[in-house]
């Protein structure tokens, strides 16, 4: 008998699983607890429940400015990443060409390149561009968008590709046979079917950009994103409680976005399977009727 399916093996697996869960999420629980602790320093004992740290960060203009900068960068990153990921996914799924493996590797390379190496490379690139263009290109929130787009692009592609692979090419071919050009076929057939994955890719890219700090620390220039502000406040004990409070809010919003995107993908996949099943049944019926008539 396999140890994994024996009673003792199952219990050991469950114990190991819950130990891992506690190890992974216990720091987050402690963070949430401290955000409501009526104590000026982040330490025990508990001195009572309070919401003053949440009110304090709402009244902090520097912190709110960093949040606005991160939100702006994240939205631009999400839009740019999604616009690039859609044609990249179509290229990888629907086209056959020489060097396809090389292109795939280049598109997914940011997954394995250390972020600190990538950040240094971007800083060197943008500084050279700044020197060669006379200051026209300089490090700012827009260079952060460029770096975040490159980092988030593989995740967006890997979100859209599985969805696109499940859509039969015959749908697009039928639209072309009926007189639609390539763009019309994509707009009326392909895009509505991959739309849930596109939305999920956009949301994932937004979350990745909003939370990223390594690349931003190199190419943000004078603009301060929320992770950079958060890191700078770690040296100031009196600022930690309100920073923890806003971190809890951001963490909750990010988690809700990720969960919503995953749930949306699952629901859309089930609908797609149902639609494909109905379409396959109709094709089979038409084929059977044609053979019977013959």
Q: Measuring CA to CA, which residue among 10, 15, 53 is closest to residue 31?
A: 53
Question: What pLDDT is recorded for position 292?
Answer: 52
Secondary structure of the chain in the HEC alphabet?
CCCCCCHHHHHHHHHHHHHHHHHHHHHHHHHHHHHCECCCCCCCCCCCECCHHHHHHHCCHHHHHHHHHHHHHHHHHHHHHHHHHHHHHHHHHHCCCCCHHHHHHHHHHHHCCCHHHHHHHHHHHHHHHHHHCCCCCCCCHHHHHHHHHHHHHHHHHHHHHHHHHCCCHHHHHHHHHCCCCHHHHHHHHHHHHHHHHHHHHHHHHHHHHHHCCHHHHHHCCCCCCHHHHHHHHCCCHHHHHHHHHHHHHHHHHHHHHHHHHHHHHHHHHHHHHHHHHHHHHHHHHHHHHHHHHC
pLDDT tens, position by position, 145-175:
999 999 999 999 999 998 888 888 888 888 8
pTM for the full predicted model = 0.78
The values of phi and psi at residue 167, to 5°, are -95, 120
Predicted local distance difference test score (pLDDT) of residue 59 = 81
d(C-alpha 278, C-alpha 171), whole Å: 14
Report the Cα–Cα distance between both ends of the chain, in Å, rounded.
57
Which stretches of the chain score pLDDT less than 50?
1, 283, 286-287, 290-291
Q: Are 73 and 144 in contact (CB under 8 A)?
A: yes
pLDDT value of residue 215: 93
Question: What is the pLDDT at residue 1?
Answer: 47
Residue 164, Cβ neighbours under 10 Å: how many? 19
């Amino acid at each position: 008998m396999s140890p994994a399916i024996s009673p003792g093996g199952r219990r050991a697996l469950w114990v190991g699983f819950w130990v891992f869960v506690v190890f992974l999420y216990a720091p987050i629980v402690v963070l949430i607890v401290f955000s409501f602790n009526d104590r000026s320093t982040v330490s025990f004992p508990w001195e009572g429940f309070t919401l003053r740290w949440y009110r304090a960060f709402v009244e902090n203009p520097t912190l709110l400015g960093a949040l606005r900068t991160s939100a702006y960068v994240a939205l631009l990153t999400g839009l740019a990443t999604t616009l690039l990921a859609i044609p990249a996914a179509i290229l990888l799924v629907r086209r056959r060409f020489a060097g396809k493996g090389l292109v795939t590797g280049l598109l997914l390379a940011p997954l394995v390149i250390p972020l600190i190496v990538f950040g240094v490379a971007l800083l060197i690139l943008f500084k050279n561009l700044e020197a060669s263009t006379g200051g026209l290109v300089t490090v700012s929130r827009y260079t952060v968008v460029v770096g975040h787009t490159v980092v988030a692009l593989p995740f967006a592609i890997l979100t859209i590709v599985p969805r696109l692979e499940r859509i039969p090419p015959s749908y697009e071919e039928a639209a072309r046979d009926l007189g639609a050009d390539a763009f019309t076929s994509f707009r009326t057939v392909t895009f509505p079917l991959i739309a849930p994955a596109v939305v999920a890719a956009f949301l994932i890219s937004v979350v990745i950009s909003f939370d990223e700090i390594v690349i931003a620390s190199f190419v943000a220039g004078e603009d301060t994103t929320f992770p950079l502000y958060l890191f700078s406040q770690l040296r100031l004990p009196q600022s930690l409680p309100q920073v923890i409070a806003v971190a809890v809010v951001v963490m909750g919003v990010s988690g809700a976005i990720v969960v919503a995107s995953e749930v949306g993908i699952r629901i859309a996949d089930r609908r797609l399977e149902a639609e494909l099943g109905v379409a396959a049944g109709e094709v089979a019926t038409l084929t059977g009727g044609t053979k019977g008539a013959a």
